[in-house]
Structure 1
């Protein structure tokens, strides 16, 4: 008992001797996030990556897409999504890819996380030769990845449900169509679901601007998160 009392007294003394203004600075963690395009003829729009808290969801399957996701899925425009670091207190930081990711190629972004409360990651990009197909993952937890370790996962294709999958040249912004991108009107089922794929003109949809090469099977991309520091 005497030893325990002495130990407690010594502990209290040490605590009392610590200056009030000393705080522990969280160690910053650095990651390289690579997205690889696995399709044959579907370029991916510049990727958007957000670091955020557990209260944030980039999207939820079966629910309506946000305006930011709609713009990514219909036109590849990620500016609204990137701006959520300023408009949403649950989003700590946002990062944009350097450009379009062509089939078989990849893009790598460096992401820094200084607070484990905001160590969840979300990723999104459009398959540009579609009406509103996108790849996206949300709430990927990077907090437990050790230095030198990597985490990879395949990314399926989602249908934003904001634009009918007509496949006409006028409604596809990619090189296969060169048509309209974002349109505020929602003329589909207005909920995010797994994408059923494209029909194409080779399979009987005469008005389609797409050919068999534009078809995609899941997964369409792979994301790899590597902690470097």
Structure 2
């Protein structure tokens, strides 16, 4: 509640933009969706230079899926929202990928079986142990399906159909519909982007930018 005599906060659209060419300060990476028997290997979350013909830097995310499921994600909390207000949010995610389309792989395709996910939550997304399995504590969905706090934007496969040729391209994915989320009591939201792999081997991509557009629910 606003102080006595103060005007209530004004509901308005909010846009959050993360440009990973400028840095990854405040962002943290983690993994989920596995048990002790199939922990992921070779996890990397760091800013790296983009490979030619691209230029600049991005947030490099990588890991080896040892089962049939692995979620790699990065997160950061942002303010600027009205406390406890509901918003309809959409995501625009740009990333660099050298993974071709139409290729076969163990458990699935390295391109079409690795999904890009956008999520938002009033509570901090964390990897927690549930019945012996490491899982995310928010309902962001799983693999090709979305959840109450997250949605699948597309896959990491690029436009190259040659499975024996790695060519780096930038790819941009956008929400097809809005997701309704609620800001916390301090007017903050956690923004999450990640990749969910059904491909039982190594996956990687480099996030270049993320935009969250939030329209208040009036």
Q: TM-score range by the shorter chain?
A: 0.3 to 0.5
* Greater helix content: 1
Return the TM-score normalized by structure 2: 0.35
TM-score for both structures, normalised by structure 1: 0.34
Structure whose alpha-carbon radius of gyration is higher: 1
